[in-house]
A and B are shown apart, each in its own frame.
Chain A
Amino acid sequence: MLLDTRQSLETPEGALLPLTPAGFGVRVLAQLLDVLIRYGIVIVIFIVLSLLGKMGTGIALILAFLLEWFYPVYFEVSRQGRTPGKKWMGIRVVNDDGTPITFGPSLLRNLLRFVDFLPMLYLTGIIASLCNRQFKRLGDLAAGTMVIYEAPPAREPSFEVRGQLPVPADFSTDEQRALLAFAERSKYLSAERQSELATILLPVIGSKDPVIAIKQMANTMVGKQ
């Protein structure tokens, strides 16, 4: 079996739902940002409420406690699994079956954050995440959640070639997809590499300029002129 970061969930309808679990690297950065935001708020709270004397300090401590434990829960539940840090890094928390996370699992995974943090800097969590394929830390394992990458938004295709050419009828869906991928990514490839790749298909397409021919086929597929 090929090694891949993407994993497909099969829905009851038999459709495959590709999900990409996120490893500790991107999650550490997201957490770092969240910690910075949280402590920024806590510092402001303490400065403001210390003006009220001892009672102010007491209120500030309670607020800091709530912020520490419920900041991630609040954002995960109300923002579809994205805390500000996660949103920044393009990741989100979902249930194991890919559905949006709800209050219970979110609370559980964030309460167990404490265990994953031990003995310092999430060492337990990192080791745990390396021991399973979905990169789950202990909190995720207990709550039945995982962190996945968000699919980047689709862009309107532009292949910088005019005209259409019919796609050969015997091309399967995957093969058509390869043609489309070539056209879409050709702007990141050098001209030499483009013609090198397109020449592979020369016996199949049989055109003078296979690069342009493939792009014109792609135009046909996406309905561009």
Chain B
Amino acid sequence: MNLDQVTIEIRPRSAWEALDLGLLMAKRWWLPMIKIWLLVSLPFFAMTQLLPANWFWGGVIFMWWLKPVLERPLLHILSHAVFNALPDTRSTFNLFPSLALKQIFASLTWRRLSPTRCMDLPVLQLEGLSGARRQDRLGVLHREDSSPAIWLTFMGFALELCLWVGMISFIWAFIPREIDIEWANLFFDQESAQLHRLQLFIWYCALSLTAPFYVACGFALYLNRRIKLEAWDIDIAFRRIANKRSSTNLLSAFVLVLTLGLSVFASDAQRNVYAEDQLPTMENSSAAEAYSGEAILDQPLGEYTELDRHQTQESIKAVLQQAEFSRKEIQRTLKFDKPEEEEDDEAATFWKKLFNFLDNFEGFVAAASLLEILLWVGVAALIGFVLYRYRHWLAAQFVRITPTPSPKAKPVTLFGMDVTRESLPEDISGNALRLLNTGDVRAALALLYRASLFHMIHSGIEIHDGHTEQECAELMHQHFASNSAAQTRVAYFAALTREWQRLAYGHLLPSAEKAQHLCANWNACWLQQGHSTAQGVTQ
């Protein structure tokens, strides 16, 4: 095997991609493969044609069953073509008997239905392995990437059937409608011998069409696996590196006198010489001799060295028994002397007896019903407790309560003046008049004004610190706009506000008559006319 001469790109591929490479290989060497296939298989097909007509299915199965043997020369062609040594049809045909007879019995009996047949054939044919060695080798090859081989076998079979049905249908489609032939009868008619011969021929065509692809895909899978296992691409690259360096060393003397083009040519020549000297090449002419010896594919790369199975097992065991691979632990636990089963039995009979006894004891029934009631009470209590415990949460979840607006706290002071109940005397008018008589007009009016504000607040007028005196009067007016009985109070408050503003800000004393009037009338205006206001005061 000469890796310098390969005609396929050597690199590790995924298994499915390798299968695609097989398709390309089958296309490339389609002609030599189909030639040898026809040469080899036509005699067997002729034999099936000689069979009596009612042996039709026998012929179909016979052709299909022989496929593993008929595929071998195809693999022979491919395995050489990949290394640029395409054998001619004649030499391959001459080789066919020796190729076909290799382990023919196993291939046609228990291995016939193996789904990985396409991937396994190169091991038998190219590596020449048999028996246990073959099994070991397959084990290595199948460790990865063998599932596409299985799928390929099933797909190939489906494809053969499809081609068979498809081609028959194709012919049927060209038959004129006047000749009444039912499509289904083409497949299930048992009578016509001619039809059977045609069917058999088409079956043979279907097998011929698929066989090169099947073999090539299987070979590509095998090849890819070996490329991965033995790193063929790295081998090629490393050899190239080494060759380039060695040839440039040899040539260094000539570099001075030779042109660049010539040196390139010379290095190519050197490489070729090296390749022929160093690497074992595959002999095109005597492929037969190559086969009689060791496997072709195996010569330079990774000699298959056989290991003695028992010896290996022994050494593995010895290694595993070393201290690094094992750890001894002693665990001590206490255990009853009695066997466990007996104990179980005793326990069971004890419970049985207990229940029998309790069933018959009347007092126990009463106790039980009491217990039941207690249990239910307990359950109810538990539910009640839970409901109570989470009542807020529950209320928030299920009951949407619009929060009642909490009554706004009545202001305690307004404009820096105390407007609480406690700060006001019982008899406003009397006190005001007394203050007026002592000459303290300001205190008298302040008392009147405070008392008025207090009553306004408690009759529902919302007054806060930001309001001016005028605004308070305005609010008063609005609040009692519909209440005619309170109009005197509104007028009183307006007059009081005016006088109070003049006094507080303008320091203008009201006339004695006016002050007297305001003081004397307060009680009459605020207490007698509005019953509700009176209530508000007493509250």
Contact = CB atoms under 8 A, between A and B. Distances in A.
Do A and B assemble together? yes
Interface of A: 2-6, 20-26, 28-29, 89-90, 119-121, 123, 126, 130, 133, 135, 149, 152, 171, 174-175, 177-178, 181-182, 185, 188-190, 192-193, 196-198, 200-201, 203-204
Given A4-B24, A26-B19, A189-B231, 6 more contacts: A3-B9, A24-B23, A120-B165, A152-B14, A181-B231, A185-B12
B20 A178 contact: no
Q: Which 5 A-B pairs have the closest CB atoms?
A: A178-B237, A4-B9, A23-B20, A26-B16, A200-B238
B6 A119 contact: no
Interface in B3-36: 6-9, 12-14, 16-17, 19-21, 23-25, 27-28
B151 A188 contact: no
Contacts of B12: 185
Contact of A197 (B159, B229, B231): B231
A174 B229 CA distance: 21
A43 B26 CA distance: 41
B162 interface: yes
Contacts of A174: 237
B151 A197 contact: no
Given A5-B13, A204-B241, A126 B159 contact: yes
Contacts of B234: 178, 181-182, 185, 197
Interface residues of B, number: 47
B233 interface: yes
Contacts of B425: none
From DSSP, what is the main secondary structure of chain B's interface residues?
Answer: helix
27 contacts: A2-B7, A4-B8, A4-B21, A5-B21, A5-B24, A20-B17, A21-B20, A22-B16, A25-B19, A25-B148, A25-B155, A26-B20, A119-B165, A119-B170, A123-B162, A123-B166, A149-B16, A181-B234, A185-B12, A188-B228, A192-B302, A193-B230, A198-B238, A200-B242, A201-B238, A203-B242, A203-B245
B297 to A, nearest CB: 15
Contacts of A177: 237
B163 interface: yes
A120 to B, nearest CB: 6
A130 B238 contact: no
B450 to A, nearest CB: 80
A120 B162 contact: yes
Contacts of B7: 2-3
B162 A201 contact: no
A198 B246 CA distance: 16
B8 A25 contact: no
Nearest to B14: A149
Contacts of B136: none
A64 B475 CA distance: 76
A177 B19 CA distance: 26
B9 A29 contact: no
A189 B23 contact: no
Interface of B: 6-9, 12-14, 16-17, 19-21, 23-25, 27-28, 148, 151-152, 155, 158-159, 162-163, 165-166, 169-170, 213, 217, 228-231, 233-235, 237-242, 245-246, 302
A201 B240 CA distance: 10
A49 B231 CA distance: 57
Contacts of B13: 5
A54 B89 CA distance: 66
Contacts of B6: 2
Nearest to B154: A28
Contact of B20 (A22, A197, A201, A204): A22
Nearest to B10: A2
Contacts of B170: 119
Nearest to A175: B241
Contacts of B239: 200
A20 B21 CA distance: 11
A3 B28 CA distance: 9
Contact of B231 (A3, A28, A126, A193): A193
Nearest to A28: B155
Given A21-B20, A25-B19, A171-B241, A121 B162 contact: yes
A23 B169 contact: no
A182 to B, nearest CB: 5
B9 A204 contact: no
A13 B249 CA distance: 37
Contacts of B228: 185, 188
B162 A3 contact: no
Contacts of B8: 2-4
Contact of B9 (A6, A26, A135, A149): A6
A90 B16 CA distance: 10
Contacts of A190: 302
B6 to A, nearest CB: 7
A193 B155 contact: no
Nearest to B18: A5
Contacts of B9: 2-6
B229 A189 contact: yes
A186 to B, nearest CB: 8
A174 B241 CA distance: 10
A89, A119, A174, A177: residue with the most chain B Cβ atoms closer than 10 Å: A119
B148, B162, B231, B246: residue with the most chain A Cβ atoms closer than 10 Å: B231
Nearest to B82: A3
A25 B231 contact: no
Given A6-B9, A175-B241, A178-B241, A25 B21 contact: no
B471 to A, nearest CB: 68
A192 to B, nearest CB: 8
B1 to A, nearest CB: 15
B239 to A, nearest CB: 6
B161 to A, nearest CB: 9
